[in-house]
């Protein structure tokens, strides 16, 4: 089920990122202790009044001069209009209504998308009068907020969530494996889709970003049904879009949300770049089964050590995804292509694997016996009970005497022991620590 998307739009320096960080709260901390996960986030997940959503911060574009500011805000608004279900239009109470605000407002008004105006930097009641001029934007009552003080955020979310559509139910049966193909432009996403399907279903070009939209393509292999979701490049024209690869994550994020298995494509000819880490991180944080697919392997100059060296490079760069298998292939020549589907099937099974509680507790008991938890200020962590509470991804709750005594390094040790016993290849594992209560 794909979550609806809220986008935060506005000119530079109105406080978009501050509000974004307040909305997602401590969700980033879940992976902060994992080396190699970039903290430069453009999107996150939130929930308010029982409604889950994805939220996108359209900030972060470097600005040079007044013309570039206008170009930037127009681009942000266009991207938000295209991808979001609800738009939070942020303005600055201290600066007042500006020409750039009017420009964005006209674009948003024409889009007919639901818009909520958030007037930031209303740090005290004396500034409430500064809010009224923003009624003239034409989107109803502006909501006064203060990102730095955390004021009005609840009212803002309340209003935005009310305008969200209901999440779309998945149109595919449970036994269909949904596979998202993600990667930066020109790594061969569409070529891989075509190779798997055996026909030219998707327009392919050497120009980065030529595919027009995310495309669902069902197919069947050996009695198993699949749906390929090609996230592809940007659908608009012009140089503005050539500089916005990172904003195409909105589309990739929607595809990842719907997928069971995510193929993270890497250009074998060019090697690994920083943006590959961003893209892989989306799949990891969404808790999806993942496979690294090194494409264009046919054009790589190789000796007997090349594959081993590239594998080690992936492991070094993606320390937070050591669980993901690696497949080397060429979508163009179909070299080694037959190896991919069996791996997709395998990681899909691992992603949905449920372990019996007594087996899980036996493994944890052995792990504790071999390496007891370290003490902290005279207190020692005591693990009472372990149970798996969910699949896709496998989610395990560890009941302890005091959750604050669970150091992330010891939690990682337990995860490694669980993987050693039950494999879970290709899927992240979520481990949460809870205090044992009388009911438990």
The pLDDT tens digits for 104-116 are 888 888 888 999 9
Domain ranges of the chain: 5-162, 177-351, 357-435
Please give the CATH number for the structural domain made up of 177-351: 3.40.50.300
Global confidence as pTM:
0.71
pLDDT of residue 321: 95
- Mean of the pLDDT values across residues 132-158? 91
* C-alpha to C-alpha distance for 388 and 396, rounded to whole angstroms: 4
Which residue did the predictor score with more confidence, 277 or 240? 277
State which H helix or E strand residue 161 sits in.
helix 153-162
Question: Could you identify the residue written with the tokens 């406080």?
Answer: 15
* C-alpha to C-alpha distance for 427 and 350, rounded to whole angstroms: 7
Q: Which residues sit in the known binding site for GTP?
A: 10-17, 57-61, 120-123, 183-190, 230-234, 295-298
Please list, in sequence order, all residues whose beta carbon lies within 8 angstroms of the beta carbon of residue 430, skipping any fewer than 6 positions away: 287, 390, 393, 394, 395, 396
* Residue 135 CB neighbour total at 10 angstroms: 12
Counting residues of the chain whose pLDDT is more than 70, the rounded percentage is: 80
Q: Are 195 and 337 in contact (CB under 8 A)?
A: yes
pLDDT of residue 30: 30
* C-alpha to C-alpha distance for 203 and 210, rounded to whole angstroms: 8
pLDDT of residue 268: 93
Q: Are 344 and 291 in contact (CB under 8 A)?
A: yes
pLDDT of residue 273: 86
Residue 439 confidence class, pLDDT cut points 50, 70, 90: low
Cis peptide before 393 (omega within 30 of 0): yes
CATH architecture of 357-435: 2-Layer Sandwich (3.30)
Tokens linked to 303: 């000796």
Which residue did the predictor score with more confidence, 366 or 23? 366
- Mean of the pLDDT values across residues 403-432? 94
The pLDDT tens digits for 1-18 are 567 888 888 877 788 778
DSSP 134-150: GGGGSSSS-EE-BTTTT
Q: Which residues sit in the known binding site?
A: 10-17, 57-61, 120-123, 183-190, 230-234, 295-298
Q: Are 276 and 266 in contact (CB under 8 A)?
A: yes
Question: Could you identify the residue written with the tokens 């955390």?
Answer: 150
- Mean of the pLDDT values across residues 406-435? 94
Q: Could you tell me the CA-to-CA distances from 151 to 18, 56, 124 in Å, in that order?
A: 12, 20, 9
State which H helix or E strand residue 291 sits in.
strand 289-295
The pLDDT tens digits for 165-205 are 876 666 778 899 999 998 887 788 888 988 988 865 554 44
pLDDT of residue 41: 45
Angle, alpha carbons 111-116-119 (nearest 5°): 125
Q: Do domains 5-162 and 357-435 have the same CATH topology?
A: no
189: alpha, beta or left, given left = phi > 0 and alpha = psi -120 to 50?
alpha
Counting residues of the chain whose pLDDT is more than 90, the rounded percentage is: 45
| Domain 5-162 coded CATH 3.40.50.300 | yes
Which residue did the predictor score with more confidence, 82 or 160? 160
Q: Are 384 and 400 in contact (CB under 8 A)?
A: yes
């Amino acid at each position: 089920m794909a979550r609806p998307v809220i986008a935060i739009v506005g000119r530079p320096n109105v406080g978009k990122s501050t509000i974004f960080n307040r909305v997602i709260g401590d969700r980033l901390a879940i992976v902060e202790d994992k080396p190699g996960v970039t903290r430069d986030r453009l999107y996150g997940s939130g929930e308010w009044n029982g409604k889950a959503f994805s939220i996108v911060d359209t900030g972060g574009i470097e600005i040079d001069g007044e013309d570039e500011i206008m170009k930037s805000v127009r681009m942000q608004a266009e991207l938000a209009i295209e991808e979001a279900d609800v738009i939070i239009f942020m303005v600055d109470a201290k600066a007042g209504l500006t020409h750039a605000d009017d420009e964005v407002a006209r674009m948003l008004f024409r889009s007919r998308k639901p818009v909520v105006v958030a007037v930031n930097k209303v740090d005290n009641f004396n500034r409430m009068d500064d809010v009224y001029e923003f009624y003239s934007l034409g989107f109803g009552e502006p909501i006064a907020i203060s990102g730095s003080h955390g004021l009005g955020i609840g009212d803002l979310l309340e209003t935005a969530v009310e305008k969200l559509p209901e999440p779309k139910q998945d149109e595919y049966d449970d036994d269909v494996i949904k596979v998202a193909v993600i990667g930066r432009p020109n790594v061969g996403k569409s070529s891989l889709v075509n190779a798997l399907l055996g026909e030219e279903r998707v327009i392919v070009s050497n120009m980065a970003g030529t595919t027009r939209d995310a495309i669902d393509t069902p197919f069947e292999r050996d009695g198993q049904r699949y749906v390929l979701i090609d996230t592809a490049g940007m659908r608009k024209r012009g140089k503005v879009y050539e500089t916005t690869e990172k904003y195409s994550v909105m589309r990739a994020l929607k595809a990842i949300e719907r997928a069971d298995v995510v193929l993270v494509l890497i250009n074998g000819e060019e090697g690994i770049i920083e943006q590959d880490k961003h893209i892989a991180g989306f799949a990891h944080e969404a808790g999806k089964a993942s496979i690294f697919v090194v494409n264009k392997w046919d054009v790589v100059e190789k000796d007997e050590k090349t594959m081993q060296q590239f594998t080690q490079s992936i492991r070094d760069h993606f320390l937070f995804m050591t669980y993901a298998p690696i497949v080397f292939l060429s979508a163009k020549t179909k070299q080694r292509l037959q190896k991919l589907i069996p791996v997709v099937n395998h990681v899909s099974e691992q992603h949905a694997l449920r372990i019996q509680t007594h087996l899980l507790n036996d493994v944890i008991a052995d792990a504790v016996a071999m390496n007891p938890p370290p003490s902290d200020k005279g207190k020692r962590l005591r693990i009472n009970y372990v149970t798996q509470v969910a699949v896709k991804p496998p989610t395990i709750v560890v009941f302890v005497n005091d959750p604050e005594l669970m150091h992330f390094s010891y939690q990682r040790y337990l995860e490694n022991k669980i993987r050693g016993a039950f494999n879970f290849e290709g899927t992240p594992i979520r481990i949460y620590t809870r205090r044992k209560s009388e009911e438990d």
